[in-house]
Amino acid sequence: MRDVVVIGAGMTKFGELWDKSIKDIFVEASLKAIKDSGVDHIDSIYVGAMSSGLFVGQEHLGAILADYLGMNPVPATRVESACASGGAAFRQAYLEVASGASEIVLAGGVEKMNDGADVTEVLATAADQEYEVYQGITFPGLYAMIAKAHMHQYGTTREQLAAVAVKNHRNGSKNKNAQFGFEVTPEQVMKSTMVSDPLRLLDCSPVTDGGAAVIVASMDVAKKLNKNFVRVIASAQASDTIALHSRESFTTLNSVVKAAEKAYRMAGIKPTDLNLCEVHDCFTIAEIVVSEDLGFFEKGKGGEAVLNGLTSIESGKIPINTSGGLKSKGHPVGATGIAQIIELFEQLNGKAGGRQVKNARIGMAQNMGGSGASSVIHILEVK
């Protein structure tokens, strides 16, 4: 397997992009990434998108986006793994370059969620239709059960959940592409509208339109272009049962645990070697559980760690979701995994502005689908 690097990145602002189509959004992000990288051609394209057919009625997405980007006859493939579609698309690009099949691959992600579809119904397709959705459960309800179990088992508090939202909005207020780039207080979080007890509106990631893209290349290409790059030192993926009731525990996401084990082994590092991590905080409880399953904190101590500032940019322990996370930056489900890679690319190159982590050398991105039935993890490094 060859060394694989990221040499360029681009993304749109996340939010309600009423005046842009899914094609417009993808092309905007992709052209930014191509310009940033300085490449003069693309060998292959992967597009992460969860539900373009249900959101905007458009399937055959790879071909239409390659056409709209002016890249025919370059092969283009859509990749779907629910909310982990972006991370899975990046993994396919990584594997194609690592294998030697291509030198330069565009890995993108896009979702247009605000065109009139029933978003709750569309997102529910990532849950078990026969055993969960048929009974009326939604993703806020599924994560509320995870939160209730975590509170019961470990004493996690409502204040600790709120601390996740407060931290991520503080980070997001420094991100020009964030959908909700403003700060919130613990009181605002805990008094926001109840969605599914104990989760309130400000515990939940928003409905978002947006696109993100990166250029993945061989080390030889990066050296020829004399570009700043970050090296991909691990790529791992794992699966779990879709239905919560089929799992041994509601408070451990086994796909995260197993993917992390593979990633750490491949990179030859430990959790303590990481300088920052972007995790899939679709709900505040998700960040807490994932931070434990990645080995940053003892099981049951993730909420306490956030409340004590151990995951803040200034903490020196393990800054989590410096971009603002899904919670503040937004969550266009197909684009999220790529946007996480972009945050690492900017941080490791020292270009994250007011949210820059000092001396950042190694970062992780953890992207997952549904309630953790799939999880994709990448570790990036700059020398």
Task: Identify whether the C-beta of residue 243 lies closer than 8 Å to the C-beta of residue 128.
Answer: yes
Among 272, 271, 292, which residue's Cα sits nearest to residue 372? Answer: 292
CA-based nearest residue to 249, from 299, 294, 206:
299
CA-CA distance, 312 to 299, in Å (whole number)?
Answer: 19
Contact 159, 167 (CB under 8 A): no
Eight-state DSSP code of residue 273: G
Pairing of strands 76-79, 44-48: parallel
Strand order across the 374-381 sheet: 76-79, 44-48, 104-111, 210-218, 4-11, 230-239, 374-381, 362-369, 276-278
Query: What are residue 195's phi and psi, to 5 degrees?
Result: -105, -55
Asked whether the beta carbons of 136 and 248 are under 8 A apart, the reply is no
Mention every residue, 6+ apart, whose C-beta is less than 8 A from residue 3: 218, 219, 231
Examine the residue annotation and report whether 378 is marked as an active-site residue of this protein.
Answer: no
Residue at 368: amino acid letter: M
Q: Is 83 a catalytic residue?
A: yes
Largest CA distance in the chain: 57
Q: Cβ-count burial of 135 within 10 angstroms (0-12 exposed, 13-18 middle, 19+ buried)?
A: exposed
> Of the listed 83, 204, 277, 282, which one is catalytic?
83
Task: With beta carbons less than 8 A apart as the criterion, state whether 322 and 313 touch.
Answer: yes
- Which one of the listed residues 150, 169, 280, 331 is annotated catalytic? 331
Query: What distance in Å separates the CA atoms of residue 41 and residue 71, rounded to the nearest whole number?
Result: 9
In sequence order, which ranges of 158-283 are alpha helices (DSSP H)?
A: 158-172, 186-191, 219-225, 254-267
**Active-site residue list:** 83, 331
